Chain A
Amino acid sequence: MSSQSGGYYLPEPSHWPIIGSIGLFLMAFGAVLTINTVSGGGYVLLAGALVMVYMLFGWFGTVIRESESGKYNKQVDLSFRWSMGWFIFSEVMFFGAFFGALFYMRVLSIPWLAEGDTGSLLWSGFSAAWPTAGPGVASKFTPMGAWGLPAINTALLLTSGVTLTIAHWALLKGQRTKLNVFMFLTIALGVTFLALQAEEYMHAYTELDLTLESGAYGATFYMLTGFHGFHVTIGTIMLIVIWLRGIRGHFKPETHFGFEGVAWYWHFVDVVWLGLFILVYWL
């Protein structure tokens, strides 16, 4: 450790953070205006998003160039590992809030609504069977079954975990063609997953009458699967970046944390899906 510490890479002053702050501010302010139907809000939101994209390209580009020019030693690599692990932990806690809400509604608040004075006086006749849109929402939706598209999606994501691992093995053994092919397969599986998810949402909205406004079930279904889908989208973009970098000849068998970090993230998204499949779709 001592020999490494002296050479820890410390970057020069950078303008990317402040650009990111401006982008996020515009996005937040634009989103406030948009959801309150103030005209022009959409443009502010879009401008903010473009600034953010510019920042992400620039900042990650800088990091990739620094990495490829060999400025990062083993200690920097370990820093990246710690930070990615803790970042994923924070994501787990974010999903935990929504899984917690699902648990609370199914196990506690909905049964409470059907019992005692609430059940007999306020909403008599409400039975606490899950899935439900709650006692006061007039929504006759059909719940999403587990064994159609969701089961196929489970298979797709689990397979993508396997193809990604094969790609990683190929990278470790220096088999670059195999790496690129299996990265492509992983991305294809991810994109197919997203397409099927979109198809499922269309089906739910048009044929099942299942919307975001369908009470407890609709809210938890769309927020959990929606945030998961958003994370799959980000993960897919990350995979594409890694795939293109692999084609360009980036990564060495011994140093490729960019690849591993994305792989960790992808597996995390995979595990969240398994939780979703069991707790949202199946049970």
Chain B
Amino acid sequence: MEAAHDHNHDHHEPTGIMRYVTTTNHKDIGSMYLWFSFMMFLVGGVMALVIRAELFQPGLQVVEPEFFNQMTTLHGLIMVFGAIMPAFVGFANWQIPMMIGAPDMAFPRMNNWSFWLLPPAGILLMGSLLAPGGAGGVGWTMYAPLTIQQGMGMDMMIFAIHILGMSSIMGSINIITTILNMRAPGMTMMKMPLFVWTWLITAYLLVASMPVLAGAVTMTLTDRHFGTHFFNAAGGGDPVLYQHIFWFFGHPEVYIIAIPAFGVISEVIPTFSRKPLFGYASMVYATGSIAILSFLVWAHHMYTVGMPVEAQLYYMFATMLIAIPTGVKVFNWVATMWKGSMSFETPMLFAQGFLFLFTIGGFTGIVLAVTPIDIQLHDTYYVVAHFHYVMVAGALFAAFAGVYYWLPKWIGKMYDERLGKIHFWLSLTFFNVTFFVQHFLGLAGMPRRIPDYALQFADWNMVSSIGAFGFGLSQVFFLYVLLKAIRSGEKAPEMPWEGATTLEWTHLPTPAPYHSFETPPDLRS
């Protein structure tokens, strides 16, 4: 009684900006994550357009090569660490407590800190452009020895990575603890929505891999300023050592981005097929297998460094093994739709787009896993096309599907279905115009991260640049769709999707109240 009184009246909640600065509410924090990631998405998108503008025609027209390098670097870092990852943490914050019947995250204050570490890191990353010599022009992978030769901007990026890592580790520990310890009675592990499962596994990947990245950039820092020789052969080190440590983090990172996307898709497809997810248990085990395999395949990013042929064979076959659990997932999604009563609202459209295009990205991944082919295609636009199919058509489309799917629950208003569908078709079309042609460029041998190219690549580059600007404008249109829904959307019905079965739809009103599940629902029986 005392506690309840305390909660409602004693402390007036801060209002205005201070509400968001000091909040301990998972929904406020989730919204901040989502808006932050969308802002960063636009910033990183503008950087992509700088790149595509320069590549519109052969020759150097728009920017200096040094600045071009800084753009490719920051575009990658911002999209990975600033846009995609925070977007899915935003989903985790909003959805996990509601989906498992918890009152909030396990550590609400630490949750706040996880978010509020992002702006300082973002300032350091963006501010590095203003440092003498500009930002590091090293690529998002930050390979030595190039990183050793950069200016002050590189140090700002290193510390930004440290802060982002702290944020991710704290956020992940919070998510793991919430899932393991805050489930409502009767919500057993194997009854959890698949989105929750995917985040449990993702958070494990983050806790295991982010400290390794911290180690890698710390070695870079000491090599730069304190005279160590980790990445210098003269001292017995090796630049390739950096690549090993980085990709030990970097490959799990790919799944850190992809697995929550799988989770969103695994919620959306059953709802709009009006059927339970096919093969729930196999989905859980497949996701776990992907997580374990992700730590065992890192050197497939490094086939060209001159590793022993035995190692190449191992990494090739181990990488191909990942196709099995991934295939299980795609099969299950398709089987979920089989004989389902399907409807194609915007979330489902994005889920279909995900399914087609992510699968293409998966197939090009198998192509690249083959060592002799990869040696040919390494550092070409084929690789760029491959990972944008996974990151954009995979992760980003899943994020769009999730936003459209849960927006009614979050704000209690519907988006405009017609505009949502237009957003989907624009995104789908321009995505393929931008990236499908990059497969051709890569197969023809166009190297990535170079501001100029040989004349035979001119036509497809022009097509790709037109697609990129179209895709960028489509996302400004998405902002309009969002704002229209928030300002003047129709009131959402209690259950906008008739096929939804998770707790946030069945046990909470629409929009979800500020404090959900102050007493946990009893799900036993």
* CB of B367 closer than 8 Å to a CB of A: no
CA A277 to CA B51, docked complex, whole Å: 50
Tell whether, in the assembled complex, residue A217 and residue B236 are in contact, meaning their CB atoms are under 8 Å apart. Answer: yes
CA A238 to CA B103, docked complex, whole Å: 31
Q: Point out the residues of chain B lying under 8 angstroms from A236, CB to CB.
A: none
* CB of A104 closer than 8 Å to a CB of B: yes
* CB of A68 closer than 8 Å to a CB of B: no
Q: Point out the residues of chain B lying under 8 angstroms from A113, CB to CB.
A: 233, 236
Q: Point out the residues of chain B lying under 8 angstroms from A124, CB to CB.
A: none
* CB of A125 closer than 8 Å to a CB of B: no
Q: Is the interface of B mostly helix, strand, loop or mixed?
A: helix
Tell whether, in the assembled complex, residue B238 and residue A105 are in contact, meaning their CB atoms are under 8 Å apart. Answer: yes
* CB of A179 closer than 8 Å to a CB of B: no
A: number of interface residues (CB 8 Å): 69
Tell whether, in the assembled complex, residue A13 and residue B238 are in contact, meaning their CB atoms are under 8 Å apart. Answer: no
Tell whether, in the assembled complex, residue A216 and residue B235 are in contact, meaning their CB atoms are under 8 Å apart. Answer: yes
Contact with A along B1-39 (1 / 0, CB 8 A): 001000100010110001101111000000000000000
Tell whether, in the assembled complex, residue B238 and residue A109 are in contact, meaning their CB atoms are under 8 Å apart. Answer: yes
Q: Which A residues, 29 to 84, have Cβ-Cβ distances below 8 Å to chain B?
A: 29, 31-32, 35-36, 59, 71, 75, 78-79, 82-83
Given contacts A86-B173, A94-B215, contact A219 B109 (CB under 8 A): no
Q: Point out the residues of chain A lying under 8 angstroms from B219, CB to CB.
A: 97-98, 101, 219, 223
Cβ-defined partner of B181 (8 Å) among A9, A17, A78: A78
Q: Point out the residues of chain A lying under 8 angstroms from B163, CB to CB.
A: 24-25, 28
Q: Point out the residues of chain B lying under 8 angstroms from A24, CB to CB.
A: 117, 120, 163, 166
Tell whether, in the assembled complex, residue B227 and residue A8 are in contact, meaning their CB atoms are under 8 Å apart. Answer: no
Q: Point out the residues of chain A lying under 8 angstroms from B3, CB to CB.
A: 7, 9, 71
Closest to A1 in B: B185
Tell whether, in the assembled complex, residue A14 and residue B519 are in contact, meaning their CB atoms are under 8 Å apart. Answer: no
Tell whether, in the assembled complex, residue B109 and residue A14 are in contact, meaning their CB atoms are under 8 Å apart. Answer: yes
Tell whether, in the assembled complex, residue B162 and residue A2 are in contact, meaning their CB atoms are under 8 Å apart. Answer: no
CA A82 to CA B183, docked complex, whole Å: 14
Q: Which A residues, 1 to 16, have Cβ-Cβ distances below 8 Å to chain B?
A: 1-2, 5-16
Tell whether, in the assembled complex, residue A94 and residue B177 are in contact, meaning their CB atoms are under 8 Å apart. Answer: no
Tell whether, in the assembled complex, residue B236 and residue A135 are in contact, meaning their CB atoms are under 8 Å apart. Answer: yes
- Give the shortest distance, in Å, between A241 (CB) and chain B (any CB): 19
Closest to B184 in A: A5
Tell whether, in the assembled complex, residue A132 and residue B236 are in contact, meaning their CB atoms are under 8 Å apart. Answer: yes
Tell whether, in the assembled complex, residue B176 and residue A82 are in contact, meaning their CB atoms are under 8 Å apart. Answer: yes
CA A16 to CA B110, docked complex, whole Å: 10
Q: List 12 A-B contacts (CB under 8 A).
A: A22-B120, A83-B106, A96-B215, A105-B236, A109-B236, A110-B236, A133-B236, A134-B237, A136-B232, A216-B236, A216-B237, A219-B229
Q: List the 4 closest A-B pairs by CB distance, nearest first.
A: A97-B215, A136-B234, A134-B236, A216-B236
Task: Contacts A24-B120, A89-B207 known; list 5 others, CB within 8 Å.
Answer: A7-B3, A97-B214, A97-B245, A100-B245, A100-B248
Interface residues of A (CB under 8 A from B): 1-2, 5-18, 20-22, 24-25, 28-29, 31-32, 35-36, 59, 71, 75, 78-79, 82-83, 86-87, 89-91, 93-94, 96-98, 100-101, 104-105, 108-110, 112-113, 132-137, 211-213, 215-219, 222-223
